[in-house]
Amino acid sequence: MTGYGVLAEVYEWLISDAKLPPAEFAASFDDVLDLLPSKAHVLDCSCGTGQLAVGLAGRGMQVVATDASEAMVRRTAELSEEFGASVRAVRASWEELPGHFQDNTFDMVFCVGNSLHHAAGATGRGAALESMSRLLRPGGRLVLTSRTWEVVRARGSRLEIGDRLVRRNGRDAVVVYRWEIAAHWEEEHHVEIAIAQVDATGLVLVRSEVLSCWPYRYEELEVELRRVGLQTELSTFDLEAENYMVVASRA
Ligand SMILES: C[S@@+](CC[C@H](N)C(=O)[O-])C[C@H]1O[C@@H](n2cnc3c(N)ncnc32)[C@H](O)[C@@H]1O
């Protein structure tokens, strides 16, 4: 199950103010981008609405953006056109990537913004990471960001209601996350994301979607990365933090 057909239309309400401009989204990865050669070949393999891909293209990189959701790929292509960026946008799930690109193609692959947990369990995650690794040239790097699932699971099932209105495209909205945390780590979990927009007349329009997630512990991720030939170079994992980043290079 892929999802995001509904959320793709309102996804900007889920992106923080700081990361909404493509250049700013890319700048949040400045430290790893400094490691790249000029005109590097980069892949954002869960591109969402395309802010990172467009930001990377704005720096002169040769960018391919892929996503399993047709609606997300369309939004990436639209954003790219709006910014006059040269981004090749392709619909492909992680498992399908080797059918679209040759092995050893990219200097850097990004899988960011809480995407990997949508891979179906350890098997799906292994297949997704294997695809990403294959597409990296030797010495190339995977940049992965993740929710700290140890923290999310410890909080249990709950409602998380935004404490402020988020304004995008002249419209205010409240964002609600409804977490369904299963008894065991390996089970399918769910998160329902609802965006309740309030229009000028006070009418409320709610768009919501239930997404499937398969959480993983950081230590499992490290093992899974090693299994596909990726060596962790940098990790910001911290049990006190909501998110972390891992940079792993291909042997
Ligand atoms: C939370 S969004 C993150 C989007 C973007 N990276 C960002 O940071 O804003 C997760 C993305 O993963 C994509 N996705 C889910 N399952 C996927 C799969 N099997 N293969 C590729 N992309 C997938 C979704 O369509 C969605 O665009």
CATH code for the domain in which residue 161 is found:
2.20.25
For the segment 146-154, the average pLDDT, to the nearest whole number, is 98
Give the tokens for residue 163: 């404490």
Answer whether residue 1 is part of any domain. no
User: Which tens digit of pLDDT belongs to each residue from 174-200?
Assistant: 999 999 999 999 999 999 999 999 988
Which pLDDT score, from 0 to 100, does residue 115 have? 98
**One domain for residues 78 and 144:** yes
- Check whether residue 197 and residue 124 sit in a common domain: no
Q: Could you tell me if the CB of 144 is within 6 A of ligand 1? A: no
Question: pLDDT tens for residues 202-219?
Answer: 899 999 999 999 999 999
Q: Examine the domain organization and report whether 92 and 191 are in the same domain.
A: no
pLDDT exceeds cutoff 70 at 70: yes
Q: Do residue 52 and residue 130 come from a single domain?
A: yes
pLDDT (average), residues 48-68: 98
**Same-domain check for residues 203 and 101:** no
As a whole number of angstroms, the distance between CA 215 and CA 150 comes to 9
H/E stretch holding 152 reads helix 149-155
Measured in Å, residue 104 CA sits from the centre of ligand 1 at 22
| Residue 72 and residue 13 in one domain | yes
Query: Which of 118, 132, 212 has most ligand 1 atoms within 8 Å of its beta carbon, as the pocket-test mutant?
Result: 118
pLDDT the model gives residue 42: 98
**Of 245, 244, 239, 218, residue with least CA distance to 155:** 239
Q: How far apart are CA 112 and CA 66, in angstroms?
A: 12
pLDDT at 161: 97
* Residue 230 and residue 111 in one domain: yes
Position 172 scores a pLDDT of 95
Range of the structural domain that residue 105 is part of? 7-148+216-250
Question: Ligand 1 atom 10: the closest Cα is on which residue?
Answer: 115
Is residue 167 located within the same domain as residue 78?
Answer: no
Amino acid at 1: M
Please indicate, yes or no, if residue 2 is contained in any of the structural domains. no
Q: What is the pLDDT of residues 93-143, one digit of tens each?
A: 999 999 999 999 999 999 999 999 999 999 999 999 999 999 999 999 999
Q: Is the CB of 146 under 6 A from ligand 1?
A: no
Residue 16 and residue 37 in contact, taking contact as beta carbons nearer than 8 Å: no
Determine which helix (DSSP H) or strand (DSSP E) holds 71, and give its type and residue range. helix 70-82
Tell me, yes or no, whether 164 and 121 share the same domain: no
Does the beta carbon of 55 lie inside 6 Å of ligand 1?
no
Q: Can you give the pLDDT at residue 200?
A: 84
The answer to whether the pTM exceeds 0.85 is yes
